[in-house]
Structure 1
């Protein structure tokens, strides 16, 4: 009896420890490979695409240099105030360009509000985020004491990327700020002008006031006389336990009758999302998913691969983006509905972090997103079920062992 108990105890300990041991080995090997196999990214990209939706104008950017030039131009032209919020802000040439532009705007009388995530920028020198007065700076804290009480609503990061200038021009999407992202990563960002910019201004103001501390002022939060139901922001707010972005995906995919095109940097859907995607493919919807062939987070790749067999057997087509990191978080459904934003399809984004995604009902913009998707497919290789089933037994065992880590990512 004692022998059986000891054996069971050892088995339980081994099963609990094994995923972390395997994860550590995979991360270490990936780090070594990237250090020895560094190469420049080369990938096709579309030009910025513009359309009008109601009284607002949208422009979709899929190349960092194009986006950054437009953002800097907007900051240089600012007259009253600027809101800027980002997850990662590198202290490199591009990062310094943004910082200098904000300081210059402040010097000519523009009120500037800055939000950045402390944890995401641990490797950036603290002095980089010192701005001259009167610029208002809010660092989303690296650590919050509530975590010690196992209050999970305080564990999320501020993963949003927003720029609003004069409440007239707004930007939102997957791009962080840094030289790497200007040319080496494939991402997607949306520019808004007109009444729909209120969606981004309101999102920034709510976050700022919710996390206010120190000498920073409260920002008044006005409503809007213009309702634009075809352009709306969904905002995850973990401290309030509000997670609408997950429902956006669930409802859009449930409604699909013709096609669903997803581009995701990190794709680890929960059971319900996975079931909805599989059900759509089985009823004949053309479901295509673009993911990185090798992302910057190797564990995410492995956890995502653990779902590939089920997806492929259901008829979902999986496309592996080559030669560059694809970091976009977008979808378009049936040529009518589009989302562009900051949330990945994984637990951290959909039920953990502060995120923001625009939900857009417009056929022209959906067609533009489909054109961008076609460009991306030209840089992908399709993963076929027969080839996938022939992967090595070691890979299959590794994917199985790592499965318990999915809720952590």
Structure 2
């Protein structure tokens, strides 16, 4: 029997912003170490920018996405990608076999291949290597020539489009990158394609680098990087994640930072597309709240953004969720930067999202009903597989 999703004990954080105060066409731009970083929070604006860059490409268009749906948005991408290939460009598309299994048909894949696109299903089921099916390519990356790259949380689907899905479209965050870091994005795409799954870029460019979640020096590279940042935090740790199921060590790091006086805030969805994950997340609320961590649940729609801000200068945005799968199993790609301008831009977005969120309070939360506790137990028991 499916247990009811428990309602949190919450208190409004602030009055929600009006549509006029946060126009859907707005994007933020930051300059970091010779790179221009444009921040997108609306799918339609992002997709228009991507398709425009694809259409004007001269050499290559490389794309990978966990979800590539052959809906109205996906079909527009397929058309532009096919046109690029017919113009003689090197067009490559890498799509996860599980993430896109129900949304992208074999006929669509055949159509791209017929246009000359180098299309690859990532990690399809193999009887000889069944363990690979559990490890998914969760990365979202696009590289256009040697001048532009895109990286972040947006998948290619109408779920992200206000034109199609209306006010119910998902809330996400994505980057458009111009500058030296584009070369690292190109090498990140190439290395994954040739099986170098623990690739790392060279020396960081004055504090900006691409991070995979697997490495040689540290087996779980992204987690090690985050652990160091939590330990060094002095002012704030502001985390936005759609799936919040941290391992016990990461929970201790966050709690320790809060006990030491760091302003630790966690923003998660109030409306989740995966109820089991929300149950697992809420199982950790009590210990986090007791340590002084503030937890907020975003109300208007599904929150899918993955951002982290530490103090005033460091931040990261990418594909990694704050759960077991992203930190230990799947393949992910994040951009991390020591950049005050980017940190400030992301902090502004974080504060805007808090204005549309409800805060979980410790005292009411401790009195939640037994049905809620049972749901949390079920979710937490399955946390390694969610």
TM-score range, shorter chain: 0.7 to 0.9
Instruction: Check conservation: 1:329, 1:342, Cα contact below 8 A.
Output: yes
Per the TM alignment, residue 401 of structure 1 is displaced from its structure 2 partner at its CA by 4.2
State how far apart, in whole Å, the 2-side matches of 1:239 and 1:94 are: 38
Look up the SS of the partner of 2:286 in the other structure. helix
State how far apart, in whole Å, the 2-side matches of 1:164 and 1:278 are: 38
Superposed CA RMSD: 2.4
Aligned partner of 2:90 among 111, 136, 147: 111
State how far apart, in whole Å, the 2-side matches of 1:63 and 1:154 are: 31
1:162 aligns with 2:141: yes
Q: Which residue of 2 aligns with 1:292?
A: 269
Instruction: Check conservation: 2:271, 2:303, Cα contact below 8 A.
Output: no
Instruction: Check conservation: 1:45, 1:376, Cα contact below 8 A.
Output: no
Per the TM alignment, residue 357 of structure 1 is displaced from its structure 2 partner at its CA by 0.6
Distance of aligned partners of 1:45 and 1:189 in 2 relative to their CA distance in 1, 3 Å threshold:
farther
Instruction: Check conservation: 1:264, 1:327, Cα contact below 8 A.
Output: yes
Aligned partner of 2:338 among 361, 383, 388: 361
Per the TM alignment, residue 154 of structure 1 is displaced from its structure 2 partner at its CA by 6.1
Distance of aligned partners of 1:227 and 1:260 in 2 relative to their CA distance in 1, 3 Å threshold:
closer
Q: Which residue of 1 aligns with 2:37?
A: 58
Aligned partner of 2:238 among 254, 261, 269: 261
Q: Which residue of 2 aligns with 1:191?
A: 176
Alignment of 1:334-373 (within 5 A): 334-373=311-350
Q: Which runs of 5+ in 2 are unaligned?
A: 6-17, 163-168
State the Cα deviation string for residues 27-82 of structure 1 (Å, max 9, x = none). Answer: xx67xxxxxxxxxxx98577211121122111111111111111111101100011
State how far apart, in whole Å, the 2-side matches of 1:263 and 1:180 are: 19
State how far apart, in whole Å, the 2-side matches of 1:45 and 1:275 are: 38
Aligned partner of 2:121 among 139, 162, 177: 139
Which has the larger Rg? 1
State how far apart, in whole Å, the 2-side matches of 1:312 and 1:261 are: 15
Per the TM alignment, residue 211 of structure 1 is displaced from its structure 2 partner at its CA by 8.6
Aligned length: 360
Instruction: Check conservation: 2:211, 2:334, Cα contact below 8 A.
Output: yes
Aligned partner of 1:280 among 240, 249, 257: 257
State how far apart, in whole Å, the 2-side matches of 1:238 and 1:139 are: 24
Q: Which runs of 5+ in 1 are unaligned?
A: 1-21, 31-41, 213-220
Distance of aligned partners of 1:398 and 1:135 in 2 relative to their CA distance in 1, 3 Å threshold:
closer
Q: Which residue of 1 aligns with 2:105?
A: 125
Per the TM alignment, residue 133 of structure 1 is displaced from its structure 2 partner at its CA by 4.1
Q: Which residue of 2 aligns with 1:95?
A: 74
1:178 aligns with 2:160: no
Per the TM alignment, residue 242 of structure 1 is displaced from its structure 2 partner at its CA by 4.3
Per the TM alignment, residue 241 of structure 1 is displaced from its structure 2 partner at its CA by 9.0
The 10-residue stretch of structure 1 (395-404 or 48-57) with the greater mean CA deviation from structure 2: 395-404
Q: Which residue of 1 aligns with 2:385?
A: 408
State how far apart, in whole Å, the 2-side matches of 1:94 and 1:240 are: 40
Per the TM alignment, residue 134 of structure 1 is displaced from its structure 2 partner at its CA by 2.5
Look up the SS of the partner of 2:137 in the other structure. coil
State how far apart, in whole Å, the 2-side matches of 1:405 and 1:385 are: 25
Aligned partner of 2:186 among 201, 222, 235: 201
Distance of aligned partners of 1:146 and 1:374 in 2 relative to their CA distance in 1, 3 Å threshold:
farther
Alignment of 1:385-404 (within 5 A): 385-404=362-381
Q: Which residue of 2 aligns with 1:381?
A: 358
Q: Which residue of 2 aligns with 1:84?
A: 63
Aligned partner of 2:51 among 72, 80, 91: 72
Instruction: Check conservation: 1:238, 1:353, Cα contact below 8 A.
Output: no
Instruction: Check conservation: 1:89, 1:116, Cα contact below 8 A.
Output: yes
Instruction: Check conservation: 1:161, 1:175, Cα contact below 8 A.
Output: yes
TM-score normalised per structure 2? 0.88
Instruction: Check conservation: 1:45, 1:62, Cα contact below 8 A.
Output: no
